[in-house]
A and B are shown apart, each in its own frame.
Chain A
Amino acid sequence: MKHMANDRIEKQIELRPPVSRVWRALTDYREFGEWFRVKLDGPFVLGQISRGQITHPGYEHVKWEAVVQKMEPERLFSFTWHPYSVDPKIDYSKETPTLVEFRLEKTASGTLLLLTESGFDKIPSDRRLEAFRMNDGGWTEQMKNIESYVAQAA
C-alpha cells in the first residue's frame, strides 16, 4: 500500500559519456532544449526563472517556465516547475510547483543519472485529468519526432 501514496517519481539511467558531458547536456540551455524539446530564452541562472517555448510539434503554444533551484557543478541540477501546464488560459503560477532534481554520479562505465520529481501531492486533481487528455492527444505521435531529432543530431 505504501507506494500507492508515493508522491514522487524516481528514475535512473546509465549514460556512457563522462559526468562533465552529461552535466553540459543538462545545464547548457541550448543542449537542454535539444533533448527536452524546448527553446529557452537564455542560460539557466541559479535562483532565476527560466523561460521558453516548448518545441514539441502540437505543443508549440505551451510556455516553459521553471525556477532554477540548485546548480552544484557535475553533481546536482534542480528546478521547480508546473508539470503539464498546457492550457494557456490557466494561471499555473498560483499552484505549488513540483521539484525536479538531476543528480549525477561517476561510474566505471560513464555516468549514472538519477532523476527525481517530487511534490505531486500538491497538484490539483483537475490538473491530473488534464494531463491524461494531453497524453491521449499525442505522446505516441511525439515519439516519432524524437526519433527524427536523434537522427538529425547524429
Chain B
Amino acid sequence: MSHKRRSSVDAKRPAHAPVFAALGDETRLSLVAKLCRGQPRSISQLTEGSKLTRQAITKHLRVLESAGVVHSVRSGRESLFEFDPEPMEEMKKYLDLVSEQWDQALSRLKSFVEGEVPGSDSGAIARRNSALRI
C-alpha cells in the first residue's frame, strides 16, 4: 500500500465487500492466481482449461469484482479482467498488524511469567533496562 493510498483512506472509505470471503473459494483463488501474472484476460481465456462453464466463471469473476480484487475493462466486444492488488494488500496489512500486536502481547506475557523466575535472563534484562531508563 502506497503512502498516497493510505492518506486517501480517511477522505473516502472504499466500501468493498470482504476480500477474505471473496477469496475463500478454490475457483476464485485460481482465477486470481491467473490474473496475478499481470496480463488482463478475457472470460474465454479464463474459462480455458477449466471444468467450469463460461457462465460459472463469469459469476466467480463478478464476486471478485465486487470485492475489488479484480476489475473489468472493455476491449471491443469483450470484457477483460485485470487484477487489482490494493484490497489484498490492505487485507494482508491488517492481518500483519493484528499479528504484530499479538507478537507484542505474547512477548509481554513472556516477560511477565518469566520475569518471576529467579535468575531468568529476561528478568535481569528488564531490570537493567529499568535502571538505565531511570
Tell me which residues from 82 to 134 in chain B have a Cβ below 8 Å from any Cβ of chain A.
87-88, 90-95, 97-117, 120, 122-123, 126-127, 129-130, 133
- Asked if A123 contacts B101 (CB within 8 A), the reply is no
- CB of B20 within 8 A of CB of A121, answer yes
**Complex CA distance for A142 and B103, rounded to whole angstroms:** 13
A-B contact count (CB 8 A): 149
Question: CB-CB < 8 A to B99: which residues of A?
Answer: 9, 11
Given A115-B106, A132-B6, A135-B97, A150–B115 Cβ distance below 8 Å?
yes
Query: How many residues of B are counted as interface, with CB atoms below 8 angstroms from the partner's CB atoms?
Result: 56
Q: Which of B7-15, B50-58, B72-80 lines the interface with chain A? A: B7-15
Complex contact A31–B112 (CB within 8 A): yes
Interface size class of A (residues with CB under 8 A): 35 or more
Q: How far is the CB of B32 from chain A (nearest CB, A)?
A: 7
- Whether A15 lies near B105 (C-beta < 8 A) is no
Binding site for A on B (CB under 8 A): 6, 9-10, 13-21, 23-24, 29-30, 32-33, 36, 87-88, 90-95, 97-117, 120, 122-123, 126-127, 129-130, 133
